Amino acid sequence: MYDYIIVGAGSAGCVLANRLSAQPDVSVLLLEAGGPDTRQELRVPLAFSKLFGSELDWNYHTEPEPESDNQRHYWPRGKTLGGSSALNAMIYIRGHRADYDAWSAACNKGWSFAELLPYFKKAQHQERGPSEYHGVGGPLNVADQRSPSPLSFAFVEAGAALGLARNPDFNGPSQDGVGLYQVNQKGGERHSAADAYLRPARQRPNLTILTHAHALRVCFEHGRAVAICFLHQGREQAARAQREVILSAGAINSPQLLMLSGIGPADSLRRHALPVVADLPGVGQNLQDHLAYGATYASRLPVSLAGAETMQNLATFVMLKRGPLTSNVGEGGAFVRTRAGLEAPDLQFIFAPCFFMRHGFDNPGGHGFTLGAILLQPQSRGCVMLRSADPLAAPLICPRYLAEPADTTVLLAGVRLARELAHTTALSRYRGDEVWPGAAAQSDAAIAAHLRGHCQTLYHPVGTCKMGGEADPLAVVDNHLRVRGVVGLRVVDASVMPTIVRGNTHAPTVMIAEKAAALIHADTA
């Protein structure tokens, strides 16, 4: 018997395991479907894409997407201690204050930016020092990049030449502008949620961490979550929770596990011969993701990351923790508004001083650079559904990319701006031939055709267990992240976001878990 059982040792689960087990009289069980985070590639920032498709990846694929040439989009998700924070590009971005103020306005009291900033600061150790917007002494290290590429500095100069404000801190008073990203690294190595939160807590006698433990379903008694059934070492086992079961399995696995447990759209559950514990139509709905497209160019000078993997660079990394192997690939960035009248940016750029085509799988040889345009506020909504009642079967993932024409419009503006950036004086000395979408694609129709066949996820699925008020028919959890219709069950991860934030989702997910830990303590006081 444990007080709390947490399912998923990703960005949120690691935070909860640390914060809840900080009370010595509380026992915590953390279940992780993947294995320990021991592979050497996890330490080397540049190596993250080498983990795609490995045993540390759930290796999901969407269903054929009708609006993007029936692509089955590859969705990597972390399956190890640290979850996707062990596989991501380490960019530290919180989003825009308008994102959280919109959450609060939608009947989610306590979730405005002003109310959440203390949790962002509590989570953070900002190497630049404390300020109004930043904290020090927290678990998660936030650092400047150690060895950015000259191409990335050229990108910043290109943005400034086009009138974008230089922004040294996208998480400060303003998000708009161009600059280099800060990263979740410590001493030149990746600093995942497991590094930040789990490693300092794992020797506590009241914290049990079980890897290779695949959750099968939540068990209920009289409408209360009392246990988790899971597969471990080839046999089904159960663990009981005296206080709460907490799902932190992410925007794909959390709704899947709820549905397997009888919580979700009643008609769908019955089709799979599953009992209906709570009829919640919103489970698995409201899926949002950041869609990425852009422009890629060959480089006329051999300065990209294509030449990073040399013995000399490896030695520099091992001895000094510097050099190109410390690169997070997405070194430079910008947040822009594609039209007048917007309250906040609707487009993000991620500049990579290398080719990054189809997740890096289809990179041509030689040197190049990529200007990735990211749709920040997609209008399209998708869903996650059960494929079957088999808990080991991957769910159906249907993001419905580009279902709303407005999303294509923003990305087309992004491509045109990417081309303008590439043709500034700063980048022209490096710019060779345009590889994607290619010089022949000049009209909106031609660019849109290429976009449909070559867009990809930026790895930020959210929203499938939406937080909302009682009047919201798709709300799955309340503003304390408690699952509606049952007792003793919460969801704490990116799936609770009502709308996607403007930026990368790791830091916001850590914040959500910090806030949730405080709510849990308050609710049980």
In a domain, 387, yes or no: no
Mind listing the pLDDT tens digit for each residue in 405-446?
999 999 999 999 999 999 999 999 999 999 999 999 999 999
Same domain (yes/no): 201, 229? yes
Same domain (yes/no): 197, 233? yes
Same domain (yes/no): 169, 318? yes
Q: What is the pLDDT of residue 479?
A: 98
In a domain, 204, yes or no: yes
Q: What is the pLDDT of residue 51?
A: 95
Q: What is the pLDDT of residue 524?
A: 85
CATH of the domain at 330: 3.30.410.40
Same domain (yes/no): 308, 363? yes
Same domain (yes/no): 368, 424? yes
In a domain, 110, yes or no: no
Give the residues of the chain that fall short of pLDDT 50. Answer: none
- The predicted model scores a pTM of 0.98
C-alpha pair distances (Å), 56 with each of 80, 267, 388, 459: 6, 34, 24, 15
Q: What is the pLDDT of residue 362?
A: 87
How many separate domains does the chain show?
2
Q: What is the pLDDT of residue 416?
A: 98
Backbone angles phi, psi at 140, to 5 degrees: -90, 115
Q: Where are the alpha helices (DSSP H) in 209-274?
A: 250-260, 266-271
Cβ-count burial of 65 within 10 angstroms (0-12 exposed, 13-18 middle, 19+ buried)? buried
Same domain (yes/no): 196, 275? yes
Same domain (yes/no): 31, 79? yes
Mind listing the pLDDT tens digit for each residue in 474-492?
999 999 999 999 999 999 9
Q: What is the pLDDT of residue 477?
A: 98
Q: What is the pLDDT of residue 425?
A: 98
Dist. CA 174–CA 133, nearest whole Å:
11
Of the CA atoms within 13 Å of residue 367, those in its CB half-sphere come to 15
In a domain, 105, yes or no: no
Where in the sequence is the domain holding 327, given as residue range(s)? 146-180+291-375+403-454
Same domain (yes/no): 230, 341? no
In a domain, 123, yes or no: no
Q: Which of 424, 454, 484 is the last residue of a domain?
A: 454
Question: Among all residues, which ones are annotated catalytic?
Answer: 460
Dist. CA 137–CA 125, nearest whole Å:
5
Mind listing the pLDDT tens digit for each residue in 154-189?
999 999 999 999 999 999 999 999 999 999 999 999
CATH of the domain at 263: 3.50.50.60
Contact 191, 141 (CB under 8 A): yes
In a domain, 67, yes or no: no
